[in-house]
Amino acid sequence: MPSAAHMVFDCIQRFGDASSNPVLEVLKDVPDFAQGQKYPQPALAFAAGCWRTYYHSHPLTGGGAEEHGHFHLFVQHDDAADEPAWTHLAALAMDRDGQPLRWFATNRWVTGGQWGEHDRLLSAVDALAPMSEQGILQQWLVAMVQLYRAELDALLCSRDAQLAGRLCACPAEQVLADRSLYELAQSPIDLRSKLTSQLRGEIV
């Protein structure tokens, strides 16, 4: 079974063959990409419908001028009763050339849904299977999530640490709805270095 690094590399090669990248894949049939809109609509399902993602662009991010937009990644909440509830794992910011820039975690008010506990989110990540995905974008997203599992683990720890102090002083609902807290943690991405370190010594 190919590693996550191999899967990401394979997707990159196929994106390149098509003169595309993950964001262009999302926007390929979009005549006018508009700030604030979500692409696609409805959100792209993957992992047998247990995950959803969309891409959008808006000014409220910490990525600065080099950030074009970001994918929000959601996983279905296990305890959903009648209607599925969604939990936000993280956002994957992309630069203006369609390259992954950083992961970031947001406060709950930003994405709504159920608040994702660290261990539960990582379990959902571990359950992903890149090979089972049909589309190249879904494969790339799943492989990226698994390739950066350790960073996402640390990201969620940082997220929780950021909230921990406030939770001592305020009720959780108040903290998770605090609009002065947008991004709680981030983790930069250097995909070239990551793949190089993961694929070192292998014939790719």
Partner 1 sequence: MKNTRRRNRWIMGTFVGTAAIAVAIDHTRHRLPEPLPPQHSESAPNPSAVVIVDGDTDTPCSLETSPCSLEESPCSLDETTGAVDESPCSL
Residues lying near partner 1 in the complex (CB under 8 A): 9, 12-13, 15-17, 19-21, 23-24, 27, 32-38, 41-43, 52, 54, 56-60, 68-69, 72, 74, 83-86, 88, 91, 94, 96-99, 106, 108-113, 177, 179-182, 191-192, 195-196, 199-204
The tokens for 123 are: 């379990």
- Min separation Cβ 78 and partner 1, Å: 14
CB closer to partner 1 out of 2 and 96: 96
CB of 19 to partner 1, least distance (A): 7
Helices (H), 70-182: 108-111, 118-126, 136-147, 149-169, 172-176
CA dihedral 120, 70, 181, 189 (to 10 degrees): 70
Closest to partner 1 by CB, 9 or 187: 9
State the minimum distance, in angstroms, from the CB of residue 154 to partner 1.
Answer: 22
Could you tell me the smallest distance in angstroms from the CB atom of residue 149 to partner 1? 19
Q: Rounded to the nearest 5 degrees, what angle is found at the Cα of 46, between the Cα atoms of 132 and 11?
A: 60
How far is residue 47 CA from its own chain's centroid? 14
Q: Kindly report the three-state secondary structure assignment for every residue of 174-186.
A: HHHCCCCCCEEEE
Residue number, 154 or 181, with CB nearest to partner 1: 181
Q: How far out from the chain centre does Cα 167 lie?
A: 25
